[in-house]
Structure 1
């Protein structure tokens, strides 16, 4: 007989789902217990209770830790969606009570994390200091599924040209915030900075640091070289770490790519300097993705308003 919603609600408890979710995030019963401030036997007991209810194993133990069985993946996927709704409920109740609390989970890419998000966060904290914002930096292949199932409230970053072809696209909406340009940069004392306009061909023989092949910025970089009739540089390091990239460029030879606003910040500090290529390089639209079916909570709506306001204050192009 198919179990009724009432019978499932009586036997399954939210705290059991929280434990299962944390075990899979941690990859270890012990680490999950530490995060949840429980003992390992207590975590093991809760997992066994869930497996007993579902009548099959949910976890498998291997050399690299604990992972989900096929049934476990199904259960935790639904559980994460329910937990997201529960978090939204808690936020809405708290916001109803005092209008200034809640928790926002935001995914981001490099293109938004160095300028737009700090601006929006400052605006949010001025309006609602009690709102907690948790940021997760990653690639769209990781972030899109997370926002689709409710692990994240939104994802802020460059809008991929092909995003509507992705599996999660029907579950997502996007709001374009502004268009971003791109800069080719190097240390402030690179020998070609004082030679007037330069071309990619002039810079091609220098060492380069470029994003990894799975990133949107790398696809843009590859297209720039192809349009200039060039192969990718032979002397290259792949890195998504802004701090690492900036450090590499301090040798005054290594060249890299950065979104315009990121380059402006670093140029203002005298760390880097963009090259004059005699033309504007387009990076693409920066936007905010959120669930098409799940209404954002009050804290998430407030943060989205702050993102819009920060985007409106986006400075017009200027010399950097």
Structure 2
């Protein structure tokens, strides 16, 4: 670990081989947006001279800015040679995030412009799969009718991934479960809906017309299962253990509902699915819901946002609409 003097001076930090980086406060205090732009210019141009021209800088100024960047991180970002300049593995990582920063700044400018022009701004919403067919689509339709100029982004992900994006400020609100977090107290949470589950198959499956399908019968079927540790996978495994039935070994694993549905259509496989999703596909004749009683239940989900963070007017409106739509469902 470098000494405080090394951190303060920065110049010796590139020589450190302890595989430690400076504190985040040190990096933030030294990093400049113009340096971020230089990073991407260097990556695109492949030479300091050309990057300096693009940035309207002198080559010595570009060289100095790159040195300051490398000092800020304490690592070498580019290899220099007679052929030009090429990003190191660590440099490529920093460049990737530099592009994200530039993209976010562009989005910030657009959103500020929209708000100034009375066009409503932007709302980024994360959602679990089970909330999409009924709760989310109805709430979004209502929100669009009230704020037609609002830009809306939807991210379908697991609750764990959504909370990560929420913490990073990339999502405004989440429809999911805050209990998957190690620090659920960091979030405000309003319960919206239970999430019943069911067993589904293709509409032409041999069991489609059965009056009752037991887990013992399902144990003899081929399955499409969610990947290990996914909540629906854990639930299926629990159901089979409780019934004393071996979990089928003839399985295909996927985290994609689209893949699962496609496989079910063209095979005699079965799968577990949230009931609202299953009803959506069953109404279109794509899947059928098998008459199997499951004892296990998914934890209710709700709308989540960061505690002590003031939601935008669009965010507050969306949360309110979700509550109203849920009461009507």
Give the superposition deviation at 1:191: 1.1
Give the superposition deviation at 1:65: 8.0
**Using CA pairs below 8 Å that are at least 6 residues apart, which structure has the higher relative contact order?**
1
**Equivalent pairs, count:** 281
Question: Which residue is equivalent to 1:294?
Answer: 309
Q: Deviations over 1:222-249 (max 9, x none)?
A: 2222222223220111112122111111
Q: Distance in 2 between matches of 1:93 and 1:281?
A: 49
Matches within 5 A, 1:80-159: 87=108, 94-95=114-115, 98=118, 101-157=120-176, 159=177
From 260, 265, 283, the equivalent of 2:275 is 260
Is the contact made by 1:185 and 1:274 (CA closer than 8 Å) also made in structure 2?
Answer: yes
Give the SS at the match of 1:288.
strand
Question: Which residue is equivalent to 1:191?
Answer: 206
Is the contact made by 1:210 and 1:238 (CA closer than 8 Å) also made in structure 2?
Answer: yes
Is the contact made by 2:225 and 2:252 (CA closer than 8 Å) also made in structure 1?
Answer: yes
Matches within 5 A, 1:1-320: 29-30=43-44, 48=66, 51=69, 54=72, 56-57=74-75, 61=87, 66-68=92-94, 87=108, 94-95=114-115, 98=118, 101-157=120-176, 159=177, 162-163=179-180, 166=182, 168-278=183-293, 282-314=297-329
Is the contact made by 2:124 and 2:173 (CA closer than 8 Å) also made in structure 1?
Answer: yes
Is the contact made by 2:160 and 2:180 (CA closer than 8 Å) also made in structure 1?
Answer: no
Is the contact made by 2:114 and 2:121 (CA closer than 8 Å) also made in structure 1?
Answer: yes
TM-score normalized by the length of structure 1? 0.72
Q: Distance in 2 between matches of 1:50 and 1:113?
A: 47
Q: In 2 relative to 1, CA 64–97 (structure 1 residues): closer, same or farther, beyond 3 Å? A: closer
Q: Distance in 2 between matches of 1:237 and 1:135?
A: 28
Q: Distance in 2 between matches of 1:204 and 1:174?
A: 38
Is the contact made by 1:187 and 1:253 (CA closer than 8 Å) also made in structure 2?
Answer: yes
Q: Distance in 1 between matches of 2:231 and 2:253?
A: 13
Q: Distance in 2 between matches of 1:264 and 1:253?
A: 19
TM-score normalized by the length of structure 2? 0.70
Q: In 2 relative to 1, CA 272–14 (structure 1 residues): closer, same or farther, beyond 3 Å? A: same
Is the contact made by 1:176 and 1:285 (CA closer than 8 Å) also made in structure 2?
Answer: yes
Q: Distance in 2 between matches of 1:262 and 1:192?
A: 20
Q: In 2 relative to 1, CA 19–257 (structure 1 residues): closer, same or farther, beyond 3 Å? A: farther
Root-mean-square deviation (CA), in Å?
Answer: 4.1
Unaligned runs of 5+ in 2: 9-26, 46-50, 56-61, 79-86
Q: Is the deviation greater in 195-204 or in 137-146?
A: 137-146
Q: In 2 relative to 1, CA 127–225 (structure 1 residues): closer, same or farther, beyond 3 Å? A: same
Q: In 2 relative to 1, CA 241–279 (structure 1 residues): closer, same or farther, beyond 3 Å? A: closer
Is the contact made by 1:174 and 1:288 (CA closer than 8 Å) also made in structure 2?
Answer: yes
Give the SS at the match of 2:192.
strand
Give the superposition deviation at 1:285: 0.7
Q: Is the deviation greater in 215-224 or in 128-137?
A: 215-224
Is the contact made by 2:124 and 2:171 (CA closer than 8 Å) also made in structure 1?
Answer: yes
Give the superposition deviation at 1:277: 1.6
Greater C-alpha radius of gyration: 2
Give the superposition deviation at 1:195: 2.4
Q: Distance in 2 between matches of 1:266 and 1:182?
A: 14
